[in-house]
Amino acid sequence: MVDIIITGESGKLHAVYHKSALPNAPLAVVLSGNPRQKYHMNDRVSYAMFRAFMDIGFSVVRFNYRGVGDSAGTIGTTSENMLDIATVIDWIQNHNEDSDKIWLAGHQLGAWYVLQAMMRRPEVSGFALVSPDSSVSDFAFLSPRPNRGLLLQGANETDDAKAFATHLTQILKKQAQIDLETIRVKNADASYGQPADLRQMYNDLKAYVGRENAEDKLL
């Protein structure tokens, strides 16, 4: 993996990229959580998601939104962060023109960004949501987009977070025709603070993506 700079709408975006040795490898973009809550591309959950895709042969990129770490500018709004996400998706696709699959994975607020990006990018073939931010309630952007994906959540997250996950599953099915497979990681909370919890989350994500990608059922 290498550090790279991607030219964004507000200046440089700092990213880390792994290029798969496999020909025509599928692609993945990893989205970290809310930067105003100190999440960034090198936090433990973002790195674990990145490694899960890397270790099953994907070309994968993770990055800092504008105003985070070495990315230029000030911390952005949702619309500005979505522009950064679009820039990074374009970048990895332009550098892997022979690949015909791309996945998105996001943690916390990044999970909400995954859903927004998927509505805008019909080429997205798979996705994973890790402990979605339960404070987000606006899903008016959803439209029919038959697909399926993974929701990973810690078994020790709050009751409100678990209720939100159930609500999200229902909303996605009703408004977007999207089916979510939910996996609850035993003993974990939303931060996956214990090494065993983080390892299990990594293993569950890697197993799901590997299975779905191999069976080529998506879309």
Angle between helices 44-54 and 195-215 (to 10 degrees): 40
Residue 56 phi, psi dihedral angles, 5° rounding: -110, 15
Give the chain's end-to-end CA distance (angstroms, integer): 30
The angle at the Cα of 73, spanning 72 to 76, to the nearest 5 degrees, equals 120
- DSSP letters for 165-180: HHHHHHHHHHHH-EEE
Domains delineated in the chain: 2-215 (3.40.50.1820)
pTM of the model: 0.93
CB atoms closer than 10 angstroms to residue 70 = 11
Q: Which amino acid is at 208?
A: Y
Angle between helices 78-94 and 109-120 (to 10 degrees): 60
For residue 52, which of 201, 215, 211 has the smallest C-alpha distance? 201
From first to last of its 219 residues, the chain has per-residue pLDDT tens of 799 999 988 899 999 999 999 889 999 999 999 999 999 999 999 999 999 999 999 999 999 999 999 999 999 899 999 999 999 999 999 999 999 899 999 999 999 999 999 999 999 989 999 999 988 878 888 898 888 899 999 999 999 999 999 999 999 999 999 989 999 999 999 889 999 999 999 999 999 999 888 765 443
